[in-house]
Amino acid sequence: MDALARYEPIIPEFDAFLEACERHLPTTVRVNSIKATRDRVVEALEAEGIDVYGRDWNSDVLGVATGKPGNTWPYVHGWIHGQEEVSAVPPAILDPQPGEVVWDSCAAPGGKTTQIAAAMDDEGLVVANDDNLGRLSALRANCDRLGLTSAAVTNTDARRATLDPFPGVDAFDRALVDAPCTCEGTVRKNADALEGAGASASRNLAALQSDILERAIELTREGGTVVYSTCTFAPEENEAVVDDALADGDCRLLEFDTGLESSPGITEWNDETYDDSLTKTRRYYPHQNDTGGFFAAKLEVTA
């Protein structure tokens, strides 16, 4: 856990945070409302002898007393998707509506893409993009298993994405940038997550993250919503990236509340200061909700 020591000044109850990072991560699934209701899923899982418990903030997120939900009948038939609880936060913040055109810029393997489509009642268009060709098979497989008809899968560098493949689409209504990151927040399920982590690695990724976020803002209509998220604790990849976007003057931060306990984004880190509005972003720490770690920002496009 040495790689996390540099965050002690910004993480409340730091000892509890470190302790939580060393505990096993509870298994959670998301109900796929395109194919099944929550009650039907609970009944089917309990029929297989699996205890199920709800999560207050989101009725579609369920804790399950099994480490292998992918081996269950409801999973095979697309009623549920294995998804870490806090990973369901960014699409919930995005709040897509039926009939809209939504861009998921870094979509594979598809957990957030399929959550977006379900929130839209599978009506509209979800452009699920990833630049890693090898990961597209998992993205397509999840879209198929969960019964999506609204998704279009693309393979391009998100920094250079265009609207050209979609005649009649002048701009996206909403965009999700769940950016490639150092993944420190996944340490509870991936013991190797901290290998190579640190300030240098975070700074190296920040340029890529900023470029993708900038492109998402450019492709989203005025008044539209862009959500930026990562599963890391590094301010270099979180507040600093959003601060760069704000400096361009084409967006502003919005407040949001998921119902999960969280901490506000920071406005100072080492020798850097960020826009005061960065307190509207949220940091989700493992010890607050017994989840992995995440960062999320909600932006409104203003130009």
Closest CA to 189 of 65, 17, 22: 22
- 85 Cβ partners below 8 Å, 6+ apart? 26, 28, 55, 61, 63, 289, 291, 292
Beta strands in 21-91 (DSSP E): 28-31, 52-55, 58-64, 80-82
Backbone angles phi, psi at 229, to 5 degrees: -145, 155
Among 21, 106, 183, 231, the active-site one is 231
Return the percent helix, strand and coil in the chain, to nearest 5. 35, 25, 40
User: In 21-59, which positions are buried (b, 16+ CB within 10 angstroms) versus exposed (e)?
Assistant: beeebbbbbbbbbbbbebeebbebbeeeebebeebebbe
Token pair 């939504």 in the structure block, residue: 102
Dihedral in degrees, nearest 10, Cα atoms 135, 139, 140, 146: 160
The yes-or-no answer on residue 231 being catalytic is yes
DSSP letter for 273, please. E
Longest Cα–Cα distance of the chain, Å, equals: 56
Determine the Cα–Cα distance for residues 183 and 264; give it in Å rounded to an integer.
Answer: 20
Residue showing tokens 């150092």 = 182
The distance in angstroms from the start CA to the end CA of the chain is 42
Which residues are part of the catalytic machinery? Answer: 231
